[in-house]
Chain A
Amino acid sequence: MPMLDIHDIHTYYGNIHALKGVSLTVEEGEIVTLIGSNGAGKTTTLRSICGLQKPRRGSILLHGEDLVAYKPHQIVEKGVAMVPEGRGIFARLTVAENLDLGAYIRRDRRGIQEDLEHVYGIFPRLKERTRQVAGTLSGGEQQMLATGRALMAQPRLLLMDEPSMGLAPLLVDAIFDVIQTINRKGTTILLVEQNALMALSIAHRGYVIQTGEIVLKDTAANLKNNETVRKAYLGIE
């Protein structure tokens, strides 16, 4: 049984039919990427999974349990954490407070403290800035903070929405390295990206979404060599 099994979901914003029957699966331990252009429905898919935008039809099974019935905070408790689009850090709170909020659902103080050290181990930059207001961090540091904050929830499934957005190429490399590290330590990752080349280079499998529908699915290596993908998303003739 796959860890996450999304079957034929239809999500609407008012009258706008944003997802027209999206199906995808994520196996335990994988990095799966969902690539597509602006407005294709990538973010909507993530919002549907974590309950921020409920699908009207279809099912989202996490270990066989349908998430559609649950509220966002209950879904977090089931082990799904998100790194939101545009980072979504709490700009007026300090770095430490942001990380603390990542562990909001947890009560095990010692475990939280251990994970905090763990996050600071992955992102030493954050440790230097624990008492700094998050809004004054640079873009790359904010992305680190958003990622670290999501890890603080001890997720089994981590949803990442365009972690490369607005970052310098060097920082993008660093962030993708971290994503791989996190994955090797046992967290399953669903990665939404516009930077298709980077995403496919670290993912195991990939899906291509276009105007609310999955148009292609394959292993990452095959997608990288796929003629359509190369033309449309990789910019390679």
Chain B
Amino acid sequence: MKNMIRNSLRTGIVFGIITVFLFLVGFTGTAANILADLLNNESAPPLFGWAPPMLNTVIFVGLIGLWAGASGASREKDVAGDPYGAAVLGGGIAGFVQGLLTGLVMALVGTLNERGVMMSKYLAELLPAAVKQAMLGFPPPGAGAFYLLFLTAAGALGGLATRGLGRGGRRPREAIRTWAREKVEVLPWVQSLRRSPAVKYAVYGILLLGILLLPLFAGQYWNYTIGTVGIYVLLGLGLNIVVGLAGLLDLGYVAFFAIGAYAMALLTAPTPHNLMWNFWLVIPIGILLAAVTGILLGAPVLRMRGDYLAIVTLGFGEIIRILSKSDDLSDFTGGPRGVPAVAGPDFFGLNVNSGIAFVYLIFLSVLLVIFVTNRLQNSRVGRAWEAMREDETVSRAMGINTLTQKLLAFAIGAAFAGLGGALFASRNQFTGPEDFNLMVSINVVAVVIVGGMGSIPGVIAGALVLKGLPEMLRQLEDYRVMVFGALLVVMMLWRPAGLIPSSRRKMEIDKDAGLAETAEEGRGK
């Protein structure tokens, strides 16, 4: 009981702080606008005397309150005899604490606002009108009291909901899963669908068709985004070989991307060299150059392990960027201004440099790289990489030439980045040093980790989330990065092995299941 109250208090404080924070940075207003779009109630008549903007604010705050109550209650397993009471009490306490914090801040801000203090001088979002909206037409103390009561009620309701969803106060996610297993998956038609391979292929087919048709309807802006996602898939797949399979943490991966891009730019653009080579000729050159650079860089540094390797590669990435920016080299690289008018591809005299054609070109490259990765992963080489990642010393004792294998992984990873870079420069018809800052390397590492290390579908999902989602979040304007960050945190809590983990990683996470199996077999004997 004591524990339960302590947990609920803690949950309430956390949620209270979050609510206050969201209000102070003006997010409650933005959320209300989004809700208005979503519910399409902008011109609806007032309810309880609240016009839609105020009503939506209340709804948003209420949703947070429900969530707080659910979290506050779900921590306590069972109080003898009365599970509902405990849940309602736990949720209510969390909601009350949250409401208390929120109400106090609201009342304070509201009072200051009424006395004519310009809050927006200190916190840009607290314009008088915005504060007025948050007061919901009450005088400030009344608004505070309202939030206190409202959030307490929402919390209690949230607590109650956890009991309704799952027996014995399990977490909602587990409850839904149990429900699906017990009620849905036993249905005969669901089972026959699950077993039939035709369904699997049909789903893949529809997905593929959808992706292939997408560029035709997406429009210029979204095609640009799809292209960027595709290029990040290329980069992710390359780094996936280096990090996911061979276990070498490379934080300077952007260097190979830059080399591919500069190869394309310098060989096809009219300035600074006026070589004007053909796009198709330069693609293999860019790939090859990147691979060779991978070997040249790898040969001296791959004797290092772990963190040291990460630091050295990090430095290498910066060196390439700074060299490309250097004034001394500007006759050769175009310097800080970059290289304009990079050539696009032509196809038997037909210029296919339109946005849509280029997206298909990127799709084709992605398919090619997926094919190569897949073959490598299931080969002797792939096996050797995985052994090396697991235990370098033992893999040497197994007869694996680790230096050669590492160089190979580095070179192939670099080659994929080179291809990505060449396409990137050509697509943008420009390249410059600022395209290759540290953030690119970090983004690619994040694509691999968020997606799921060592998993091809994972990398694609990761690229979609990391490069596609920020574009979709444009609606949120200033809060884009904040929401994006929060989503990343939630995603890593929710799926620690990545969005679509490789079967190997899944096995590892489900280790307990494997152990249980062993124990059962042991008992059988």
Contacts and interface: CB of A to CB of B under 8 A. Distances in A.
Nearest to B389: A92
B518 A52 contact: no
Contacts of A138: 518
A132 interface: yes
Interface in B492-525: 504, 507-508, 511, 514-515, 517-518, 521
Given A73-B401, A100-B383, A136-B514, A90 B390 contact: yes
Contacts of B119: none
B386 interface: yes
A13 interface: no
B398 A101 contact: yes
A237 interface: no
A72 interface: yes
Contacts of A100: 383
A84 B521 contact: no
Contact of B383 (A52, A77, A97): A97
A102 interface: yes
Contact of A50 (B397, B401, B517): B397
Contact of B394 (A71, A90, A135): A90
A104 B507 contact: no
B290 interface: no
Contact of B511 (A52, A88, A136): A136
B151 interface: no
B397 A82 contact: yes
Given A90-B387, A100-B383, A133 B393 contact: no
Interface string A51-82: 01000000000000000000111001100011
B387, B504, B511 interface centre (most CB from chain A within 10 Å): B387
Contacts of B402: 73
Interface in A124-159: 128-129, 132-133, 135-138, 149, 153
**Dominant secondary structure at the B interface:** helix
A93 interface: yes
B390 A73 contact: no
Contacts of B515: 136
Contacts of A153: 398-399
Contact-residue size bin, chain A (C-beta under 8 Å from the other chain): 20 to 34
A198 interface: no
A133 B508 contact: yes
Contacts of B393: 52, 84, 88
A101 B387 contact: yes
A136 B398 contact: no
Nearest to A97: B383
A73 B521 CA distance: 38
A97 B395 CA distance: 13
A91 interface: yes
B128 to A, nearest CB: 59
A105 interface: yes
A213 B94 CA distance: 69
Contacts of B507: 92, 133
B24 interface: no
B386 to A, nearest CB: 6
B200 interface: no
B376 to A, nearest CB: 16
A41 B507 CA distance: 38
Given A73-B399, A73-B400, A73-B401, A136 B394 contact: no
B396 interface: yes
B397 A76 contact: yes
A79 B77 CA distance: 60
Contacts of A97: 383, 386
Contacts of B397: 50, 52, 72, 76, 81-82, 84, 88
A93 B390 contact: yes
B82 interface: no
B173 interface: no
18 contacts: A50-B397, A73-B400, A81-B397, A84-B393, A90-B390, A90-B391, A90-B394, A91-B390, A92-B504, A101-B400, A104-B387, A104-B399, A105-B398, A132-B518, A133-B504, A133-B507, A133-B514, A136-B518
Interface of A: 50, 52, 71-73, 76-77, 81-82, 84, 88-93, 97, 100-102, 104-105, 128-129, 132-133, 135-138, 149, 153
Query: What are the 8 A-B residue pairs with the smallest beta carbon separation, nearest first?
Result: A76-B399, A105-B399, A88-B394, A90-B390, A136-B514, A72-B396, A73-B401, A73-B399
Given A82-B397, A101-B387, A104-B387, 4 more contacts: A90-B387, A92-B504, A93-B387, A104-B384
